[in-house]
Amino acid sequence: MVWVSGQSEHVSESRLTVVGAGGSRVVIHRLAEGATRFFVRKHGRYERLDETDAGLIEVGTPLCVESLLDGRSLLALRVFIGAACGPRH
């Protein structure tokens, strides 16, 4: 498992592009049939976001992505919108 933190650059039905703090771009593939879950913080807790609303994520929005490394590809499991991840979060 790999956690990827950064800002959204592009979100499509098949992938996410995240820009890290150093400017590096990471492409993370979404799982088919809604298996990649999106969450947004509301009222102090994370709630699941409807799959159709994931395409509305604005460029520059902080993301924390729980993903699996499959060879050289990252596969998104859960995406926390508006959240940063890492040792200080």
Full pLDDT tens readout for the chain, 89 residues: 999 999 999 999 999 999 998 899 999 999 998 899 999 988 888 999 987 888 889 999 999 999 999 999 999 999 999 988 865 54
Q: How far apart are CA 28 and CA 73, in angstroms?
A: 7
Query: How far apart are alpha carbons 69 and 50 in whole angstroms?
Result: 25
Does some domain include residue 19?
yes
Residue 86 lies in a domain: no
pTM of the predicted structure, to 2 decimals: 0.89
CATH code, domain carrying 42: 2.40.50.140
- Does 71 map to a domain? yes
Residue-range definition of the domain harbouring residue 60: 2-81
Structural domain count of the chain: 1
Is 87 inside a domain boundary?
no
End-to-end CA distance of the chain: 17
In a domain, 89, yes or no: no
